[in-house]
Amino acid sequence: MRTRVTFDGSDLTALARVSDLRTSVLARDVRCEDVPGRDGSVFTGATLRPRTITLTLTLVGVGMEQRRERARELARILNVDGPRALCLSVDGGRYYMAVPSTDDVARIRPTADSFDVEFTVPDPVARGEERTLTVPSGGSVTFDVGGTYPTRPRIAAAAAANGSGGFWRLRLEDGSYLLATIPSGVASAPVAADCEARTLRVNNFVALLVPDADWLVLEPGTHTLEMTGTGAATVTFEERWL
């Protein structure tokens, strides 16, 4: 089966054949500390490193002049100023936010030109299906999160109002919660939170989380979100995959 690759909305495989796809399964940095008088070392933590995806693009089936035009078109597509969506057909519709990072050396031949392209993926976890759910006004909702890695949702309530405690809150079953306080004298106000970007706006103004609150994290599995106060909220998240 032919591998299809799209980058920043452009189909690279409409211009070239893809081969020799290479990527790491799980790139991790493991940290250890030496302890005087002790054999070996002490494990202190591990984090995911940026992922690298490398592939070979081959221009075939056209004359040399036409191949050079296709190479210029590929260069235009790959010339971006930040991470863009990179989707490989072998990943079943999931995608990475990637940026080309290599100085490629083209192999020019009479019938085909080929070159390697290396993508750096600063956030090494793939993004999958986007899901949206609604927490009813003053109520709760139970839902499933797919994937193999935690995800952070975006939350929007068009007309949030404080509950009896003097705040509007969404609380997960593990006790963590996101809280906003609607200003006094305002019956209801819009609330927008991006738990990945760590931004919160209340009544269209930037706000800070109270010390006991936190940005919500959705682990794969079943969750329940419960609202204190009123004003239905839309919760949007993307499944994440290692």
CA angle 117, 119, 122 (to 5 degrees): 170
3 state DSSP class of 241: strand
- pLDDT of amino acid 61: 66
**Site of tokens 């999160």:** 145
Q: Cα(112)–Cα(234) distance, rounded to whole angstroms?
A: 51
- pLDDT of amino acid 106: 63
Q: Cα(101)–Cα(65) distance, rounded to whole angstroms?
A: 26
- pLDDT (tens place) for every residue of the chain, 242 residues total: 678 999 999 999 888 888 888 888 778 889 999 999 888 899 999 988 899 999 998 887 677 788 888 888 888 999 999 999 999 998 888 999 999 986 666 676 666 688 889 999 999 999 999 999 999 999 999 999 999 999 999 999 999 999 988 999 999 999 999 999 999 888 899 999 999 999 999 999 999 998 899 999 999 999 999 999 999 999 999 999 98
CA R_g for the chain = 24
Same fold for the pair 5-124 and 127-241 = no
- Contact of 233 with 227, CB cutoff 8 Å: yes
Q: Cα(67)–Cα(77) distance, rounded to whole angstroms?
A: 15
164: left (phi over 0), alpha (psi -120 to 50) or beta: alpha
- pLDDT of amino acid 175: 94
**pTM beyond cutoff 0.95:** no
Query: Exposed/middle/buried for 103, CB within 10 Å: 0-12, 13-18, 19+?
Result: exposed
Taking the domain 127-241, which CATH number applies?
2.60.120.860
Question: 130: closest CA among 221, 238, 242, 241?
Answer: 238
Would you list the domain boundaries of the chain? 5-124, 127-241
- pLDDT of amino acid 218: 97
CATH topology of domain 5-124: Elongation Factor Tu (Ef-tu); domain 3 (2.40.30)
Torsion of CA 138, 134, 152, 54, to 10 degrees: 180
Q: In this structure, how many other beta carbons lie within 10 angstroms of the beta carbon of residue 46?
A: 10
- pLDDT of amino acid 111: 61
